[in-house]
Amino acid sequence: MADDRRVSAPRVRDDMTVEVALSLMAGAGVDHLVLCDGDDQSTGLITLARLAALHNSPAYTDRIRLRDILPGPLDSPGARPGTVGLHGRLSGVLALAG
């Protein structure tokens, strides 16, 4: 059975900034986006709640891209929350966006 949320959500590349993603979500009237890689394969889902929490956090800058807040093993070992890790990912941002 297909997940209706994934089918009806706009598909975006993970290099989109959080600012642009929030604008797109507002314009499309959706509460989530499907993230895709360069081959247009779905790689995840990002919610309005997560982006809004990040946008209101002290760690936020207008240069953060969606790929920077995705969970994964690309953070630097021992990185402190809110610091930029390997590949530019923000360590601990998901905890802030919870």
How do the domains of the chain map onto residue ranges? 4-97
Mean pLDDT taken over the chain: 75
Q: How confident is the model at residue 7 (pLDDT cuts 50, 70, 90)?
A: low
Distance CA 95, CA 98 (A): 5
Cβ-based burial of 1 (10 A; exposed 0-12, middle 13-18, buried ≥19): exposed
pLDDT tens string 33-44: 999 988 888 888
pLDDT, tens digit, 9 for 90 and up, residues 10-25: 999 999 999 999 999 9
Q: CATH classification of 4-97 is 3.10.580.10, yes or no? A: yes
Cα 53 from chain centroid (whole Å): 11
pLDDT of residue 27: 95
pTM: 0.66
Please state, in angstroms and rounded to a whole number, the distance separating the CA atoms of residues 63 and 47: 18
